[in-house]
Amino acid sequence: MKKLVALLLPLALVPAPDTRAETGSAAALAEAYEGLANTIIAVRETESALVKAILVAHHDAARAELDEARAAAPEARAEHLRAAATEITYLASEGDKRVQAVLQRLLKSGHHHHTDGYTNEDYMYVDSVEKKALLDLAGKVAKIEDPTAIPGIVDELDRLVTSTLEPE
Nearest to 27 by CA among 35, 43, 12: 35
Nearest distance from C-beta of residue 141 to other proteins, angstroms: 7
Among 72, 117, 121, 149, binds other proteins (CB under 8 A): 117
Does the footprint of other proteins cover residue 132 (CB under 8 A)? Answer: yes
User: Phi and psi of 86, rounded to 5°?
Assistant: -65, -45
Among 115, 144, 153, 161, binds other proteins (CB under 8 A): 115
User: Phi and psi of 46, rounded to 5°?
Assistant: -65, -45
Nearest distance from C-beta of residue 21 to other proteins, angstroms: 29
Nearest to 62 by CA among 10, 107, 168, 164: 164
Q: How far apart are CA 88 and CA 102, in angstroms?
A: 19
Does the footprint of other proteins cover residue 56 (CB under 8 A)? Answer: no
What is the identity of the amino acid at 50? L
Does the footprint of other proteins cover residue 142 (CB under 8 A)? Answer: yes
> Which stretches does DSSP call E strand in the chain?
none
Chain residues in the site for other proteins (CB under 8 A): 82, 85-86, 88-89, 92-93, 96-98, 100-101, 104-105, 107-109, 114-118, 128, 131-132, 135-136, 138-139, 141-143
